Chains A and B, each alone.
Chain A
């Protein structure tokens, strides 16, 4: 067991592309946590999707041993965090497991939007923020100017900040020295009742759920009976240990200040919610650690296999993903247009995209996803109350006494010069202004109540573009409010396509219907017949477009008897056809179903 005063728990925060993952790799390398042979860029982002998108989706932690110049032996726990508003809560739990944060700043670009947003998040969690100036090998590097920026804009001392090049492996040791000197050691009483915070968990088919945690007080050891304070579930610990970049090492216990994992033959990740406090079943702590939130899906969408025969495969794939993702929910549903599929619940749009991509890639499925929806509450005239996640189940207007939609309390932190833009955006999205708090001379926190369905599509992207990336967003569901909602249906060639229906505020219905009809027109290829696209509310048509009949699709010439060229063309055409869905007499490409998402582009 490591001496507590020689443990350092920290994360790395940075603007995208300032070198967060490269620095992580170098630290691991320097501490010989990985051999060079194992060295593969960006070790921590090991999901294929993460590497490609350059984002971290799952939090994870890794332990390194470091012998400082003083001769002292240190244990460093690096906790990597996700970086998107959909996962804000997960980030906050990871940060709660640390005492410090390395703030990586690009020596030529200086402070950027995410640098600020992440720093504030770290400061909010009382972390010691340690600046590191990276990329000093670039000709345009100006470490001194950037240090000045850090002191002026963020207000943390940066004079002694290590100036490094993670890419070239320059000055890496300085970072480690600086970190052990400046990041506080964890505190916490080993003999107090156990309190540990869960920051992630993962399902393993041999050992059950592997729970990643930071022990704040007390200790956890194999054989011990433990209890999850929020879910109430009790287990007997089978093993404890900590993670290496590749693999792990078992330990006899984990005590206050340590970061590691335990297993306890847990069958289901829903028993090990991120943010929950683990305590002893026999000698429980009086209070859980602060900050726990039940994570509930907020966005729902229909997920269908493009090929109806793949329905069982989709079910199996969802079952498997669910093992690792407590926030994903799904139940079977069917659509006249799309056949059998599932109504899935997600944390937000990115979560939805990530799940969808993982299903497509890791399980080799072709999917059609319907427009995301929130849960609407409807009281029918006969007194029945419905919670509606699927627009299909929305009752006729004549049967509705009232309808409600979920609202969130949104908090947006941004430099002051974007206040106007932010307010304009929130107003546009039917937001209700609450207040503006000046955090300091240059930064404000703006509060709005916003309908959830206005922010699930592309609010975050719009916010980023209107604030040049500087604003950060957090939101929390606050409850339901009465709202004037209507269900919009789409007819292709006169036939309603259930999978394209959605619920929208009546004020927005016309504009949305028009944009959607236009988008569908762009996406549906010209076919043998003219295809009318109509958007209706009840029996009233509120928008119409027409896809004209196809008149020209011909290969004029077969050069020098090159028949293979023509064959290839026909094969390509066939591939395209496979991505089409036959709806009555109309062939609709899969991406048309997603067009609904991108109405504002």
Chain B
């Protein structure tokens, strides 16, 4: 049976963050219930097509999933259990804002089967949080982590952001240390990206954003600090204690299959990538009338898949394996290797005889490296059959 991840999108937030261009809206209790019914319908109708899959990861993201209340979250989880075969050792994550969930709520979630919780901490500094339009405080984060522990969550993740308006390296490391002090199993560090049409994009010159160089320094300092504290980097922005890499995240990077439910949710099932319509009201009414909600669907052919393998693999510390490129994707690796050798010389890429991966400095310029690798893929020779093993070159 093929492992499958399920993603549940909750497009509601209690407040809108200044940097967010993600689709979400505020709503009433009735809206939440109606939306929950729509999701439950959608999930139930998925049933017949799922017999070959074993679900090993469920992820509630948003938006702010906890906005719709624990009862609704649990209803949705039950619907998944009814329609899919779910492994007993599944990772079941819920994203939450530190001030959006109570001790009781956490207990309920834990009892219903959720075993991982991911808090959007972002920063330990009040001024930074307010600049981002976040409504919580660092004390909320502390309390939330304590409550989660008390509710017997043994897998807690904290999200941090760097490159914030007016942030110095020192400020960022303060936040990082504060997060580490709470001993979460998993930490994500994302750089703030100013998306068009968000409040932060309105007057970027007044934000005093750290320069790219300063941001690079923040990132490298974080990688070192986290590694010293026992958090191993497994992807550009993700760090975890041994055994606590996020199974759900990893599906994205390793071409694992996942099915996302909800408006604007993305899926990779079989050879197809598809996404659903972005509008929540339209999504809800489509579910009532059993209409189609697919907005875009594409079949990924072998050469595109190879591109995805390279592009996504190079985001992880597991990197890419030349033998896989040649055997599975029937593509000669020599052109790609030329590119990687160039970056090896400059300390941006590494090779251990089996796999290539990017160093933290390489991750920082991964857009450029991946772009070059994909250009090399375009001129790479296609193989009729696999070569006799990848011949290792000395680097």
Contact = CB atoms under 8 A, between A and B. Distances in A.
B249 to A, nearest CB: 9
A53 interface: no
Contacts of B375: 574, 577
B221 to A, nearest CB: 13
Contacts of B371: 570, 573-574, 577
B367 A563 contact: no
Nearest to B365: A553
A560 B212 contact: no
Contact of B252 (A556, A558, A564): A558
A75 to B, nearest CB: 57
A561 B4 CA distance: 13
B7 A573 contact: no
B219 A570 contact: no
A551 B214 CA distance: 9
Given A560-B61, A563-B266, A570-B374, A554 B364 contact: yes
Nearest to A566: B311
Nearest to A550: B365
A559 B9 CA distance: 11
B367 A573 contact: yes
B216 A552 contact: yes
B266 A552 contact: no
A564 to B, nearest CB: 7
Given A563-B266, A563-B268, A548 B213 contact: yes
Contacts of A286: none
B367 A554 contact: yes
A569 interface: yes
A69 interface: no
Interface in A181-209: none
A160 interface: no
A336 interface: no
Given A556-B193, A574-B375, A551 B365 contact: yes
Contacts of B365: 528, 550-554
Interface in A522-564: 526, 528-529, 548, 550-564
A552 B237 contact: no
Nearest to B215: A552
Contacts of A574: 371, 374-375
B364 A561 contact: no
B359 interface: no
B378 to A, nearest CB: 10
B364 A563 contact: no
B148 interface: no
Interface residues of A, number: 26
Given A551-B213, A563-B308, A557 B190 contact: yes
A561 B366 contact: no
B312 A552 contact: no
Nearest to A569: B367
A568 to B, nearest CB: 12
B65 interface: no
A570 B312 CA distance: 12
B312 A528 contact: no
A569 B366 CA distance: 12
B258 A561 contact: yes
Nearest to A573: B371
Contacts of B215: 552
A553 B219 CA distance: 12
Contacts of A569: 367
B81 interface: no
Contacts of B190: 556-557
Interface in B300-348: 308, 311-312, 315, 342-343, 346, 348
Interface in A437-451: none
Given A551-B212, A551-B216, A570-B370, A560 B364 contact: no
Greatest chain B CB density within 10 A among A550, A557, A560, A567 is at: A560
Nearest to A526: B212
Given A551-B365, A552-B212, A557 B275 contact: no
A556 B275 contact: no
A199 B348 CA distance: 64
Interface string B261-291: 0001111100001010000000000000000
B120 interface: no
Given A558-B252, A560-B260, A570-B374, A553 B368 contact: yes
Q: How large is the interface on B (under 10, 10 to 19, 20 to 34, 35 or more residues)?
A: 35 or more
Given A560-B265, A564-B273, A552 B311 contact: no
Interface in B230-264: 236-237, 251-252, 258, 260, 264
B311 A570 contact: yes
A561 B236 contact: no
Nearest to A567: B311
Contacts of B342: 528
A566 to B, nearest CB: 7
Interface string A572-595: 011001000000000000000000
A95 to B, nearest CB: 48
Contacts of A556: 190-191, 193, 236-237
A119 to B, nearest CB: 43
A555 B191 CA distance: 8
Nearest to A558: B252
A526 B212 CA distance: 11
B368 A552 contact: no
Nearest to A570: B371
A558 B311 CA distance: 12
A73 B265 CA distance: 73
Given A564-B273, A566-B311, A559 B22 contact: yes
B213 A557 contact: no
A553 B364 CA distance: 6
Nearest to B159: A557
Nearest to A574: B371
Given A554-B364, A554-B367, A556-B193, A561 B252 contact: yes
Given A551-B213, A554-B191, A557-B190, A562 B366 contact: no
A560 B252 CA distance: 9
Greatest chain B CB density within 10 A among A529, A548, A562 is at: A562
Contacts of B138: none
B84 interface: no
Contacts of B296: 564
A451 B35 CA distance: 74
Contacts of B12: none
Contacts of B346: 528-529
A552 B258 contact: no
Nearest to B248: A561
Contacts of B237: 556-557
Contacts of A552: 191, 212-213, 215-216, 219, 364-365
Contacts of B267: 561
Interface string B1-23: 00000010100000000000010
B191 A550 contact: no
B363 interface: yes
A563 B368 contact: no
Greatest chain B CB density within 10 A among A548, A553, A556, A558 is at: A556
A563 to B, nearest CB: 7
A556 B219 CA distance: 11
B252 A563 contact: yes
Contacts of B193: 555-557
A558 B314 CA distance: 13
B294 to A, nearest CB: 14
15 contacts: A548-B213, A550-B368, A551-B213, A552-B212, A552-B219, A554-B236, A554-B364, A556-B237, A558-B252, A560-B7, A561-B251, A564-B275, A569-B367, A573-B367, A573-B368
Interface of B: 7, 9, 22, 61, 190-191, 193, 212-213, 215-216, 219, 236-237, 251-252, 258, 260, 264-268, 273, 275, 296, 308, 311-312, 315, 342-343, 346, 348, 361, 363-368, 370-371, 374-375
3 closest Cβ pairs, A-B complex: A551-B216, A552-B212, A556-B190
Interface of A: 526, 528-529, 548, 550-564, 566-567, 569-570, 573-574, 577
